[in-house]
Structure 1
Amino acid sequence: MDLQLTIYIVVGLSFALYLGIAVWARAGSTKEYYVAGGGINPVANGMATAADWMSAASFISMAGLIANMGYGGSVFLMGWTGGYVLLAMLLAPYLRKFGKFTVPQFIGDRFYSQTASTVAVICLLVASITYVIGQMTGVGVAFSRFLGVTADMGIYIGMAIVFAYAVFGGMKGITYTQIAQYVVLIFAYTVPAIFISLNLTGNPLPQLGLGSNLTGSDTPILARLDQVVTDLGFNQYTTAYAGSPLNTVFYTISLMIGTAGLPHVIVRFFTVPKVKDARSSAGWALVFIALLYTTAPAVGAMARFNLMGTVNEAVKSGGDLYATNASLQYEARPDWMKRWEKTGLLKFEDKNGDGRIQYYNDKTTSAEVKAKVDAAGWKGNELTVNPDIMVLANPEIAQLPNWVIALVAAGGLAAALSTAAGLLMAISSAISHDLIKGVFNPKISEKNELLAGKISMAGAIVLAGWLGLNPPGFAAGTVALAFGIAASTLFPAIMMGIFSKRVNSQGAIVGMLAGLFVTLFYVFAHKGIFFVKGTEYLSLVGGANGFFGITPEAFGTVGALVNFAVAFGLSAVTAAPPAHIQHLVDDMRTPRGAGTAQAH
């Protein structure tokens, strides 16, 4: 069957499944709309949580980043996985026991301040809207490649699909849809990985294949990859850092506490009947997440090896990488390269006019590499590959069957749509529940609150679509910026709210604002946003990565430290929280039934 027709059938069937679930799982009350009625099975909720957690960034970008960065890309594995463990074990059970299913509502009640709740809403909206830009952009990219439409049309289609099952179904519809999306995306991710691992190493388990020898060779795949990338002027694959070691640590922490502070996953722990079920679903979600996250390093390494082997046959044969005929003739490039060139995410420029594709690091400082390049007559790197295509193009590069390629298309779309829906639900509940009901109209009826929630959701979808169609100038860093905002604002407030009786409303409010300000200032000074044109933006922060070599993507950790310091410092010199709030904190952390044995 033709590839394009296969893709249409597989993607069409997955969309029909999502829409069918939306009709079946319509929300009829605010409880069903916000927390799916609170009756979801822990295993099913774990699967939905995994789909909500694993966004387009996990499915599409993470393995591509690992392929591009090598060992340094492990910050995403450690940060996102560690963030989930932090959330599931240290935050979610306490929030579930507290009984408030939105982060702003918890912050408002714990810090006995409507102002604190409003500041939390602002931080939540900024982080969630920033994050959802990346999801909608991912939807556009996937549609443009696999359905043969423009990226803009892809975003419109994605908006329509999310509208159909999120606006009418609320959290109930989203939950059951995310269960289906998890099944689609995990098969889409692991099946190609199994095929590719078998092709390259003979081992069907990618996790073990990554440490195995190449088929027909005594050389481990990672050792050969290290040799190839260093010979072509790139950093050694297995030892590269994400900047400096300090930046790597701060980057990991920022991703970890940022993901733990993002609200769209926290609310999932309110969709199960009991606190015990919340813990159980957290454990199941970790199992489901691990299936993809333990596969990602193998996918990244094997995708990089296959890409370089496609462009330079000597990569696999062990010949001279700089031989005259070592690189691929442009006219003989495989069909997958032609298809991806149409998206603009893969580009070729024939700098030396030889009609061949030279792919190497032309910014290398290695005299040995430069000498080989000059001898070969190469005039610079001629191939630009966006890391985001590595997972989506991987089965095509490896020449896998059409149905596998179609499955990956459906999986990429499922990952982007599932997280977009979760984020839009968080935005909707923040507006309808925390602002409209919590601030402006506390006496609103359940029917009108449900209507407000659906209108808010529709408005959020339109805004997300518009931002996807017209991304801001800093769009490339939007996902990292979203984590940085959540890390520097919401996470410290939640942590202090649970584990400190002394932090008061003044400390929490000023701490959140301080964390938000320093993080945005550092990021936007690098990007030149909000400053007068012509100003030397980087001089405002001491030059590029001027704060101890920390990149803007890792600066959320610094923002969080500022938040903690300001909150604790201000709380120490102002009045302690009321006694009933301190008792509330004690009760939240004390298991039900504690002390009853002594009483008897």
Structure 2
Amino acid sequence: MTVQTWTYILVAVTFMLYIVIAFLSRAGSTKDFYVAGGGVPPLANGLATAADWMSAASFLGMAGLISFSGYDGSVYLMGWTGGYVLLALLLAPYLRKFGKYTVPDFIGDRYYSNLARTVAVICALLVSFTYVAGQMRGVGLVFSRFLEVPVERGVVYGMVIVLFYAVLGGMKGITYTQVAQYCVLIFAFMVPAIFISIQMTGNPVPQLGMGGHILGESVSLLDKLDGLSTDLGFAQYTNGSKPVIDIFFITMALMVGTAGLPHVIVRFFTVPKVRDARKSAGYALLFIAVLYTTAPAIAVFARTNLLETVSNKEYASMPAWFSKWEATGLITFEDKNGDGRIQYVADEVVNELTVDRDIMVLANPEIANLPNWVIALVAAGGLAAALSTAAGLLLVISTSISHDLIKKQIKPDISDKGELIAARLSAFAAVCVAGYFGINPRDFVAATVALAFGLAAASFFPAIILGIFYKKMNKEGAIAGMVFGIGVMAFYILKFKFDMFGGGGREDWWFGISPEGFGTVAMMLNFIVSIIISKFTADPPKEVQEIVENIRIPKGSGKAKSH
């Protein structure tokens, strides 16, 4: 069977599985919709958390990013996995013990202020919309190549599927759907990695194959890739070019950004006990590590195969996969010297080939000439990764509007049924907005990915940490810190990502810190402003200080209260 036929079969089967699970576990109350009734077992929650986190960016983008940046890409591995250590140790158990539905709910009650709640809602919406637009683009990309439909139509297909099980099932349906999606995406990620590792090195373990010798040759795979890269004028793959300060700040920003992402944090409100929240984080880190330790191997395999396949080759003799990706516009060839050969080199003046790095995971099995069912499996896995995260983000958006704005501020006497309807209508509106940004413009997400992590790092992380561990932190300090952190981060991103406020290049970065790493600076400023303001304003009410003392009492095995 053809790749397209296999893709239709696998995508149809997996989509039907997600829909059936969502229908069987549909939400019947607001508690089901928001936190799955608070009864998800730790293992299932760990699987769902892993699927929630491993978005299209992780599945499709990360290995592609590492394949082009080499050693410098390690900051994303360290930052995105390290964030879960922070979650497990500093946030998850305490937030679960506090017993709220959402991050804005925690901030609103901890800082006894609807203004603090509103600021948190704005942050949650901005971060979540940025992320969910990326997932919609990932869905469109997969549909565009493998089902041969326009990207716009692919995004619409994804919107319909996500809308169905997010609106119907809420957190309860999403949780068990994400368990299935993790199984699909990790299988789809590992199978081609194992195939290619055996094909290139004879080792079935990709993580080991990456450092092994090429079959029939005396040179190691990494040494060969270094040689191929330098021969074409690219930087040596195994050497980094980023300054140490920027590596540190990017890694830290990704870590605290991960620990502050609302769609990740909300997962720890779904387990029965405080102890289960910590277990869930541990399981999630283990399941995430499977993909994240394999991504560098896939990056090496893909980059090596690409360079050997296209460099200085006759354009007319390129395999079928090349023309199919050309049709999507994600690979472009311009024969500048008219010799009919592909000049893929670092020199932009001479270079004739442009490759979108987001396609590397999807194109890798085709470049390696793997069976058609394996190629289609990767497409199904990419959709699972994009849809799982999109659903979690949509839930954050809908609960922020229905629970934190409508229930807590606008109409406190709304019935349980009315709140559930409001949540579903909010999810519907959010899907439409996310779909729009997934299509128009295309570079929206790529240009603002740093903004999502920066906002989470600069706003939520300090407010949550101080809210848990500093009982004298008051509403004035928290609000000032969040607003200042968001403002500084937004200014830096707009200045250096969008060339506003005078713009500037790398040489103009403050202290040599990239926009991707500036979230760390904004976070530090948030901490400083929050603490200084709290020192010169009134202490929190006594009952709030008692709550803070209570959530830090190490009774990890007891039932957590719910509100």
Same fold (TM over 0.5): yes
In structure 1, what is the equivalent of residue 465 of structure 2? 495
Query: d(CA) in 2 for partners of 1:56 and 1:544?
Result: 32
Which aligned pairs between 1:239-254 and structure 2 lie closer than 5 A? Answer: 239-241=239-241, 243-254=242-253
What is the aligned partner in structure 2 of residue 437 from structure 1?
Answer: 407
Q: 1:47 to 1:475 in 2, by over 3 A?
A: closer
SS of the residue corresponding to residue 553 of structure 1 reads coil
1:44-443 equivalences in 2 (<5 Å):
44-241=44-241, 243-312=242-311, 327-362=312-347, 380-443=350-413
Separation in 1, partners of 2:444, 2:497: 7
Indicate which of 525, 532, 545 corresponds to 1:569: 532
1:414-465 CA distance string (max 9 Å, x none): 0001000000001111110101011111111111011111111111111111
**2:473 match: secondary structure:** coil
Alignment of 1:466 onto 2:436: yes
Count of matched residue pairs:
557
SS in 2 for 1:81: helix
1:593–1:334 distance in 2 versus 1, CA, 3 Å: closer
**2:524 paired with 1:557:** no
On the 8 A contact 2:497/2:515 being kept in 1, the answer is no
8 Å contact 1:545–1:551 — kept in the other structure? no
Identify which range, 100-109 or 520-529, moves more after superposition. Answer: 520-529
User: CA-to-partner distance for each residue in 1:186-223, whole Å, 9 max, x for gaps?
Assistant: 00000000000001110000011111111112211111
Instruction: Determine the C-alpha separation between the residues in 2 that align with 1:450 and 1:91.
Output: 28
CA distance, structure 2, for counterparts of residue 285 and residue 502 of structure 1: 33
Taking the aligned partners of 1:169 and 1:100, their CA distance within structure 2 comes to 20
Helix, strand or coil at the partner of 1:342:
helix
Using the size of structure 1 for normalisation, the TM-score is 0.91
SS in 2 for 1:14: helix
User: CA separation in 2, counterparts of 1:492 and 1:270?
Assistant: 19
State the secondary structure of the residue aligned to 2:332.
strand
Gap regions ≥5 residues in structure 1: 313-326, 364-378, 595-600
> 2: CA distance between counterparts of 1:300 and 1:341?
21
- Structure 1 runs (4+) deviating above 6 angstroms are none
Name the SS of the counterpart of 1:122 in structure 2: helix
Deviation at 1:247, TM superposition (A): 1.1
CA contact (8 A) 1:207 1:298 kept: yes
Distance (whole Å) between structure 1 residues aligned to residue 140 and residue 518 of structure 2: 29
Shift of 1:554: 1.6
In the TM superposition, what is the alpha-carbon distance from 1:593 to its structure 2 partner?
A: 8.8
CA–CA distance in structure 2, aligned partners of residues 251 and 473 of structure 1: 21
Question: What is the distance in 2 between the residues matched to 1:187 and 1:306?
Answer: 22
Cα distance in 1, alignment partners of residues 442 and 353 from structure 2: 26
Distance in 2 between residues matched to 1:478 and 1:387, nearest whole Å: 17
Q: Distance in 2 between the 1:561 and 1:445 partners?
A: 41
Pairwise CA distance, 1:502: 2.1
Contact 1:133 1:471 in 2 (8 A): no
Check whether the contact 1:6–1:402 (CA below 8 A) recurs between aligned residues. yes
Q: Secondary structure at the match of 2:354?
A: strand
Per the alignment, do residues 297 and 88 of structure 1 end up closer, same or farther by CA in structure 2, a change over 3 Å counting? same
Please give the secondary structure, in 2, of the residue aligned with 1:552: coil
1:473 deviates by 6.2
Which entry has the higher C-alpha Rg, 1 or 2? 1
Q: Is the CA contact 1:515–1:560 (under 8 Å) kept in the aligned structure 2? A: yes
Asked whether the 8 Å contact 1:133–1:478 carries over to 2, the reply is no
Instruction: Say which SS state the counterpart of residue 512 (structure 2) adopts.
Output: coil
Q: In 1, are the aligned partners of 2:107 and 2:464 still within 8 Å (CA)?
A: yes
Q: Which residue does 2:552 correspond to in 1?
A: 589
Structure 1 residue 475: Cα displacement: 3.3
Whether the aligned pair in 2 keeps the contact of 1:134 and 1:478 (CA below 8 Å) is no
- Residue 421 and residue 593 in structure 1: after superposition, are their counterparts in 2 closer, same or farther (change >3 A)? closer
- Name the structure 1 match of 2:560: none
CA contact (8 A) 2:3 2:146 kept: no
**Contact kept? 2:83, 2:255, Cα under 8 Å:** yes
What is the distance in 2 between the residues matched to 1:228 and 1:166? Answer: 46
In structure 1, distance between residues paired with 2:147 and 2:163:
20
Shift of 1:549: 1.6
Percent identity between the two aligned chains? 62
State how far apart, in whole Å, the 1-side matches of 2:382 and 2:276 are.
30
Separation in 2, partners of 1:512, 1:206: 42
Which letter does structure 2 place at the counterpart of 1:309?
A: E
Deviation at 1:232, TM superposition (A): 1.4
Task: Tell me how far apart the structure 2 counterparts of residues 486 and 549 of structure 1 sit (CA, whole Å).
Answer: 22
- 1:321 counterpart residue number: none
1:537 is matched with 503
